Amino acid sequence: MATVDHSRKQILAKVVWYGTSGSGKTSSLQHIRETTSSPAERRKPLDTRAAGPEGVYEHYTLTVSEQRGYRTRLGIFTVPGAPRFAEARRVILEGVDAVVFVADARPDRQQANKAALDELRTHLDSYDVPLERLGFVVQCTFIDAPDALPVADVVTPLLADRADAAAIPVVGTVPVRGQGVLDTAHQVARQILKLVPPG
Ligand SMILES: Nc1nc2c(ncn2[C@@H]2O[C@H](COP(=O)(O)OP(=O)(O)OP(=O)(O)O)[C@@H](O)[C@H]2O)c(=O)[nH]1
Ligand SMILES: [Mg+2]
């Protein structure tokens, strides 16, 4: 649950960038950091943590200022996407407030996208947290790939079982160029603000 300090007008929330291997999660976090941190911070290496042999995930805190007068500090985590890090992904999800689901637009990644979303639900079940109760944004990546599917064709099947599908923000992005990444972060900050009861 996001922490809200109404007197200081500050919200603290945990956001996990979740999705299949090679879909652009780390590239997204790198872009967010490069464009929002101070020059001194940028000189330090990205906060990278071990998730088991060879697996890594990253962390960065992004401050989004002045939404309805609140400053939102997003503690962002990526997950390592390879199948063998399933348990590491489950652990990283503990206490999450919002998920950015990264859906790869390349045709041969569609089954992997679906498997990642199914796994996300299973992991959240282990914490008794329905995905519907969290902030949720879909970041479609690789829209620059020569064979990329249209964003709607990637996302519609993934959201078919959600009654609120029309209200879920969907952003088409190219993380390696930074395209659409900050928009994704702002969308998720907005989703978190909606979960916060007025002070
Ligand atoms: N063309 C293109 N390349 C991308 C895009 N997003 C990421 N890449 C590249 O794809 C590769 C994988 O990207 P990462 O950001 O490491 O993927 P990840 O989701 O963190 O992967 P895991 O950590 O294995 O789960 C890198 O070489 C990126 O430069 C994109 O939208 N378009
Ligand atoms: Mg990564």
List ligand 1's pocket residues with C-beta within 6 A: 21-27, 78, 80-82, 141-142, 144, 174-176
Residues near ion ligand 2 (Cβ under 5 Å)? 25-26
Give the separation between CA 70 and CA 188, rounded to whole angstroms.
Answer: 14
Give the separation between CA 142 and CA 144, rounded to whole angstroms.
Answer: 5
Nearest to 188 by CA among 5, 11, 21, 9: 11
Nearest ligand 1 atom to alpha carbon 78 = 20
Nearest ligand 1 atom to alpha carbon 29 = 15
Whether the pLDDT of residue 138 is over 90: the answer is: yes
Dihedral pair phi/psi, residue 50, rounded to 5°: -80, 135
Number of folded domains that form the chain: 1
SS3 9: coil
3-state helix, strand, coil in the chain (%, to 5): 40, 30, 30
Dihedral pair phi/psi, residue 195, rounded to 5°: -80, -15
Question: What is the CA(81)–ligand 2 centre distance, in A?
Answer: 7
pLDDT digits 0-9 by tens, 2-46: 888 888 889 999 999 999 999 999 999 999 999 999 898 888 888
Question: What is the CA(9)–ligand 2 centre distance, in A?
Answer: 32
Domain that holds residue 34: 3-195
pLDDT digits 0-9 by tens, 87-98: 999 999 999 999
DSSP letter string, 125-138: HTTT--GGGSEEEE
CATH of the domain at 114: 3.40.50.300
Nearest ligand 1 atom to alpha carbon 143 = 31
